[in-house]
Amino acid sequence: MKAVYLTSFGKPGSQAFEIREAEEPSIEPNEVKINAQAFGLNYADVMARKGIYNDCPELPAILGYECVGTVEEIGAEVTNVKTGDRVIAFTRFGSYAKKVVTHSMAVQKIDNDIPNGEAVALATQYCTAWFASNEAINMYKGEHVLIHAAAGGVGTALVQLAKEKDCIVYGTASSSRKLDYLKSIGVDYPINYKEQDFEEEIRKLRGKKKVDVIFDPIGGKNFNKSLKILAYGGRMVPYGASSRERKGILSLLKVAWGFGLHLPVGNIMKSQIWAGVNMLRIADYKPELIQRCLEGVYDFYTKGIAKPHVGGVYPVSQIGDAHDFLESRKSIGKIVVEW
């Protein structure tokens, strides 16, 4: 089979990958093998390429958290899908390949006519948003919700899930083009954080009431700054550290220091919840939660609540360009790579 290998850390996408022949993976009794039509990119892939993602396998490595394709083989214990079904799948690396193997609970049957880009968006990005906003914490009607990186893949999903719950949504992004997009998907208060200080903007809009829920994939100082505008009884979901820019201990310490030193007593006094999210750990230790997320997300998709935005479709030969586009911070929604 063909597979895309990351061959070195720290290079631009256009120099970091090679498409090679690889041995086809075999399956365990609780696994499914998929003949993939496409795979999606996630920001964690960019971090892995830069060498700043701890869970990345040793090089040469096949990255990837998701694919869409047709079930080719199922293990003896698998009952939720059958050979020939079109599925989306959440993977623990290994999805930048023509044949992909994953746990049966990380697979969801889907309709044949769903475009590849929308399908792969529903896997990691929508499942992360779903888990973060339904399992880790909850959001209630009329609550004020701040979503950082709101025009991205996970961000778009969080906006739609918050609007479905009748929340008032504040979304940050870094360009006027992205702000137009945020308005188009229903963000009530889009904030261009390059031009406006988001903390000041929220204080102007909310005064002492602040916001009830914050989703933060940026981490470091952004987390600490966001905490200052979290209301009593508020919930904060840190789920990434995209502010880490390069390899090396100094860069790591800068982000770690930015998060600040906090004591649990502060959470008690303010009645605040901080719920960290890492979908890889969930996939490793609680695959049944991934199945619940996939079912919930797919249900929302069929009801028209989840509406993935596909911001770029690339042939596999242009995997490097796809990566560079996601890293450029110009992308909106999902980037998909087709075989």
Ligand X SMILES: NC(=O)c1ccc[n+]([C@@H]2O[C@H](COP(=O)([O-])OP(=O)(O)OC[C@H]3O[C@@H](n4cnc5c(N)ncnc54)[C@H](OP(=O)(O)O)[C@@H]3O)[C@@H](O)[C@H]2O)c1
What torsion, rounded to 10 degrees, do the Cα atoms 53, 99, 290, 41 define?
40
Q: For residues 45 and 85, which CB has a smaller minimum distance to ligand X in the complex?
A: 45
* Separation CA 187–CA 201 (nearest Å): 15
| Phi, psi for residue 55 in degrees, rounded to 5 | -80, -5
Tell me, residue by residue from 195 to 234, as one string, x for binding to ligand X by CB under 6 A and - for no binding: ----------------------xx----------------
From candidates 104, 160, 243, 291, binder to ligand X by CB under 6 A: 243
Contact 336, 41 (CB under 8 A): yes
* Separation CA 173–CA 143 (nearest Å): 21
- Which one of the spans 22-30, 139-147, 254-262, 273-281 is the region binding ligand X (CB under 6 A)? 273-281
Q: For residues 149 and 316, which CB has a smaller minimum distance to ligand X in the complex?
A: 149
* Separation CA 39–CA 322 (nearest Å): 12
**Shortest CB 265 distance to ligand X, Å:** 26
Decide: helix, strand or coil at residue 338.
strand
**Shortest CB 73 distance to ligand X, Å:** 28
Which residue's Cβ lies closest to ligand X? 152
Counting contacts by CB under 6 A, is residue 125 touching ligand X? yes
Give the CA distances from residue 208 to residues 37, 175, 230, 265, 332, in Å, rounded to whole numbers and listed in that order.
50, 28, 10, 21, 32
* Beta bridge partners of residue 192, listed in sequence order: 173
**Shortest CB 99 distance to ligand X, Å:** 24
Tell me, residue by residue from 157 to 196, as one string, x for binding to ligand X by CB under 6 A and - for no binding: ----------------xx---x------------------
Q: CB-side exposure of 334: number of CA atoms within 13 Å?
A: 26
Counting contacts by CB under 6 A, is residue 255 touching ligand X? no
**Shortest CB 142 distance to ligand X, Å:** 26
- Which one of the spans 2-10, 23-31, 79-87, 152-160 is the region binding ligand X (CB under 6 A)? 152-160
CA distance between the termini of the chain: 12
Which parts of this chain interact with ligand X (CB under 6 A)?
42-44, 124-125, 128, 149, 151-155, 173-174, 178, 217-218, 239-240, 242-243, 277-279, 329, 331
